[in-house]
Each structure stands twice: as C-alpha cells, then as structure tokens.
Amino acid sequence: MENLGHWIDGKRVPGEAARQSDVYNPATGEVQAKLALASRDEVDAAIAKAAEAQVAWGATNPQRRARVMMALVHLINRDMDKLAEALSREHGKTFPDAKGDVQRGLEVIEYCIGAPQMLKGEFTDSAGPGIDMYSMRQPLGVVASITPFNFPAMIPLWGMGPALACGNAMILKPSERDPSVPLMLAELCKEAGLPDGVLQVVNGDKEAVDAILDNETVQAVAFVGSTPIAHYIYSRATANGKRAQCFGGAKNHMIIMPDADLDQAADALVGAGYGAAGERCMAISVAVPVGEDTADKLIEKLVPRVEALKVGPYTAGDDVDYGPVVTAAAKQNIERLVQTGIDQGAKLAVDGRGFSLQGYEDGFFVGPHLFDHVAPDMDIYRQEIFGPVLSTVRAGSYEEAIGLAMSHEYGNGTAIYTRDGDTARDFANRINIGMVGVNVPIPVPLAYHTFGGWKKSGFGDLNQHGPDAFKFYTRTKTVTARWPSGIKEGGEFNFKAMD
C-alpha cells in the first residue's frame, strides 16, 4: 500500500516511517494509504533546510514572489477537479463542497498577488534636520502551520499564501487524516516557481507538532483545529518565545426572530447545519427561535427538509447533500453525544440513528438529526458535536437569545434572521463573537477581510488572511537615518557641520 510520505526540498520522500498511520476512504471505511509519521529528528532536519532556503527567498523582491502566487493561481485552477477528487476521497465531502474548499483557499492566494502593496513600509521625510525615518516589514524566517482535517485545501492555503508571499519559509504539518491535497499543493508550488525547501510538508502527529513547537528556528506558529489542542499549542509556542495564532472549535448560534422569513431561515439552517456533514467550524449547530410560535413554525418547516436530506458518497454526484464523517471514531463520538441528548431530555424531532447505506455499510455515514427543546446545561448544547446534528433552543425573548450566544464559551460565528434593521444592528454591535451574519448563515469573510473567532475559538491577537496575515508573517523594523544633505563648503560636504 502506498506510503504518502512528506514533501522535503522539492520532492516527495517516504520518510523513515518508523511509525505510520492509516488514511481512510470514509465512504467505504477502507484504508486507502499509509502515512509516515515524522520523528522529531526528521522535523528538525526539515526546519534546518527550510532556514537555508529562506535566506534567498526572503531576499527575492516582493514582485517576483507575487509572480509565484500568480502562477499558483493558474495551476490550482488547472488542477481544480483533480484536487477536489483527492479531497473528497480522503475527507468524504461532496465534490461541489470539495471544490468550494479549494476555491476559498485559492481566493487567499489571489489576494497574495497584491503582497508588494501590503508589504510597503512607511516613510517620514525630514523627521529632524537631515533626518528621515522609515519602517519596513521583513519576513520572520521559518514559520509553521498546523492544520485540521476539515478543510485540507483551504486552511493550508490560508497559511501558505501570506507566509510565502511575505518571504518566509514554511513548515506545513497537515492533518494526518487527509494529507494528499496539501502534498499536491506543495507540488504545484514547485511548478509555480517556488524554490526547493521554502515549503516543507511534514506529516505526523503530536511528536511532529511538539518538535515544531520546541525548535528555536521556528519563529511563528499558526494553528487551526480543536480548542484543547489550540490552547496547548498557543501555550507551548508562546512559552518558547514564538508568535502564535491558534484557532479552535465552535458552537455557532443562529437566532430566528418572529419577523424573519421562516422559509429562508429554514433553508439556511439546513445548508449551514448539515452541509459537509456538519464538519465546518462555521456550521450552525444551534437554532434559537424567539417565541414559542416562531419555534413551532420553524420546527414544522425544518422537519421535512431535514428528513429529505440525501446522504451518500461523493461518487454519487449532485444527488448527495452530504457525505460520511471523517473517521469511525468521529461517528462514534457523534452517536454518543446524540444519546446524551436523548438521556438528558431533549426531543429528537428527526432521528438519524441507525442510518445505513446499501453497498457502503462500512462507511462512516451518520443520518441527519434534529433536536428540539434543548436546554443550555445539556452536553449537546455545551460541546461541539461536529456532525449532522442541529439543536434547537427555544428562547422567550431577543434578550434571552442574544444572552445564550454571548454566554457560550465559543465565539467563532453567529447569525441573526430578522427583517428589522434595529435588531440586526444591535445584535451585530453587542455580540461577543468574531464573525456575524445578518440573514447570512455562514458569514465567512472574503480573503481581503480577516477570519477569526473570539473567546475559546481563537487564541492570539491577529486573524487569518486579510491585512492581519501580512502583520502576522512579518516584523517591523524602523530605521532613523541622517544624511548631510545641503551642507556644503567649497563644493565638498562639510561633515563637521553635521555635529
């Protein structure tokens, strides 16, 4: 069986492979490849090579680096279907969803073509007599990105684009569950003209991550994944003197006001709650209808829509709404949490338990679940389920609804459905959550804005992509320079006059 290996110094290498993990096809439940897990020594060697390669790359002018980004855009578009197919095969998401994953990453690479503009410094002419002052943004050196399974194209590209365009070398440690697309992207970077060693992809688990966190050459760490690991990585990276931005889990609430268009809200909830099998950090996992009447009508509209969802493998084409979850362990965890919901008194309005697909009995499929009458102290409300399970918490008033979202420990995304501008404006201003949608269920900011959650959904003070990324991947140097201009005696500079 193929060992996917690593991408080191511009080529695929098998690695020492003393330890390996299995890469599954979640639709069939079969192991389709093996993955070498890098040892600490292998990671250290990859970092040392990256540091060598970074010297020339950091000195390359920004426009040339931007041309690599431009070439990469063309190559990703050329290989879009190939990338999406590999992504669906390892992740399980539908083909259109996989293309969306690549597309949202691609948009950040497009944005990075403008890196020379973003990297321009500041200049003060004549800050004193004969004195000018200027600031420049310089690359950090070697940086690292540790990414989750759920967006194996988008999140690596969100890190790679700005980090490389700023002149850094990058160590990318993708999720061990779906590593093929990051390896393919590294290959495309080489084809686009990125010098060997500037992007090193090391596959691995905790041992590889800890090696990155402890290596003194690594200047900054970007992490996206679950909250406990985000917190661990943030703590260890910053304790070791590194810059860090670590994004964690989510429990995104959508508030449905009595004046909302309930058909629109129900459609939005089905797309945002069950798309990609609920394995999106911006998925809506909690619906909060305001008032009993709104709640009754909403549930009435949701039930047939949720029951009609088609679950299947990506190979079934456009006829499928969502695919399997990523692993057998993820499926078991979702099923366990559903059971706690029932045991703790929530009402299962759509019961997806026992779902099975003919011909795919060993696949990691989970049927759609809809809970009503969920209470804030239940496990299904407090924990991130990361599966096709939508919980409905009925609120008596707008204040109660906004209070629920504000008191939850996660603060990634949220949305409100209303026709009232005052309510929408109040919600957007008061809510303590990083990304807000008004009649938009998954408010993912575009590449030229920044993406990041608050509270336990994000540690660190700079967001992903947009202007923040150029700040995160550079440091500022400020120069004060004095030149003896205009002080001449007999056609020669009089340096003494400067004293």
With respect to ligand NAD, which residue has the nearer C-beta, 93 or 173?
173
Residue 253's Cβ-side half-sphere holds a number of Cα atoms within 13 Å equal to: 33
With respect to ligand NAD, which residue has the nearer C-beta, 181 or 260?
181
With respect to ligand NAD, which residue has the nearer C-beta, 222 or 424?
222
With respect to ligand NAD, which residue has the nearer C-beta, 166 or 250?
250
Minimum separation from the CB atom of position 419 to ligand NAD (A): 30
Minimum separation from the CB atom of position 148 to ligand NAD (A): 3
Strand partners, 220: 143, 243
Sequence-ordered list of residues with C-beta below 8 angstroms from that of 447, at least 6 positions apart, any chain = 107, 108, 110, 111, 465, 466
> Strand, coil or helix: what is 124?
strand
Question: Rounded to an integer, what distance in angstroms lies between the CA atom of residue 442 and that of residue 413?
Answer: 8
Find the catalytic residue in 112, 166, 189, 281.
281
Minimum separation from the CB atom of position 213 to ligand NAD (A): 8
Q: What is the DSSP string of 36-105?
A: EEPPHHHHHHHHHHHHHHHHHHHHS-HHHHHHHHHHHHHHHHHTHHHHHHHHHHHH---HHHHHHHHHHH
Tell me the residue nearest to ligand NAD as measured from the CB. Answer: 225
Minimum separation from the CB atom of position 157 to ligand NAD (A): 13
With respect to ligand NAD, which residue has the nearer C-beta, 226 or 238?
226
Minimum separation from the CB atom of position 356 to ligand NAD (A): 24
CB 223 within 8 A of CB 234: yes
Q: What is residue 195's DSSP assignment?
A: P
With respect to ligand NAD, which residue has the nearer C-beta, 126 or 332?
332
Sequence-ordered list of residues with C-beta below 8 angstroms from that of 157, at least 6 positions apart, any chain = 105, 106, 108, 109, 185
User: Token digits for 157?
Assistant: 């590209």
Give the CA angle between residues 393, 354, 33 to the nearest 5°.
Answer: 105
Burial class (CB in 10 A: 0-12, 13-18, 19+), 168: buried
How many angstroms separate the most distant Cα atoms in the chain?
96
Question: Rounded to an integer, what distance in angstroms lies between the CA atom of residue 32 and that of residue 7?
Answer: 19
Roughly how many angstroms between the first and final C-alpha of the chain, as a whole number?
Answer: 75
Minimum separation from the CB atom of position 322 to ligand NAD (A): 16
Minimum separation from the CB atom of position 105 to ligand NAD (A): 12
Kind plus residue range of the DSSP H or E element containing 243:
strand 243-247
With respect to ligand NAD, which residue has the nearer C-beta, 141 or 460?
460
Kind plus residue range of the DSSP H or E element containing 244:
strand 243-247
Task: Look up tokens 């394995």; give the residue.
Answer: 279
Minimum separation from the CB atom of position 398 to ligand NAD (A): 27
**What are the residues binding ligand NAD (CB under 6 A)?**
146-151, 173, 175-176, 205-206, 209, 224-226, 229, 247-250, 281, 384, 386, 412, 453, 457
With respect to ligand NAD, which residue has the nearer C-beta, 25 or 203?
203
Q: Is the dihedral of CA 354, 355, 357, 358 positive or negative?
A: positive
Tell me which residue of 40, 390, 389 sits closest to 215, measured CA to CA: 40
With respect to ligand NAD, which residue has the nearer C-beta, 7 or 386?
386
281 is catalytic: yes
CB 409 within 8 A of CB 455: yes
Minimum separation from the CB atom of position 464 to ligand NAD (A): 7
Question: Rounded to an integer, what distance in angstroms lies between the CA atom of residue 166 and that of residue 55?
Answer: 12
Sequence-ordered list of residues with C-beta below 8 angstroms from that of 432, at least 6 positions apart, any chain = 406, 411, 454, 455
Please list the active-site residues: 281
